[in-house]
Amino acid sequence: MSLDGDLALRRRILERAFARAQALDDPFFVAGRWPATLGELASALGCTRATAAEIGLCRAPAPAEDIPAWALALAARFGLDQERLEALGRRLTKSVSVGR
């Protein structure tokens, strides 16, 4: 398989995994708490759909967790803007405390 083919396959696998995690509605995962589409998550984070899918498979912050530290770890791992990740973390912890 070519590099382009490998990347396309990886993208499809990530997007399917995101969709499955979101459908499970498991609050452990970012995708389980994210109420909108993968495309909207990518837009909110300013990244590709594949990167957003990877973020969706990460552990979501706990309600009492240090959101800046959580966001910093993801920003370092994925090369994303920490402020956007903090906004995501605040939104996700709010959804747990009041329900989706």
pLDDT, tens digit (0-9, with 9 covering 90-100), for 27-85? 999 999 999 999 999 999 999 999 999 999 999 999 899 999 999 999 999 999 999 99
Q: Which residues pair with 59 in a beta bridge?
A: 29
The per-residue pLDDT for 5 is: 80
pLDDT at 6: 87
For 95, residues 6+ apart whose C-beta sits below 8 A from its C-beta are: 33, 35
pTM: 0.88
CA dihedral 98, 21, 54, 10 (to 10 degrees): -160
Q: What are phi and psi of 58, to 5 degrees?
A: -85, 160
**Alpha-carbon 12 to chain mean position:** 16
Residues 84-93 have pLDDT tens digits of 999 999 999 9
Domains of the chain, residue spans: 3-98
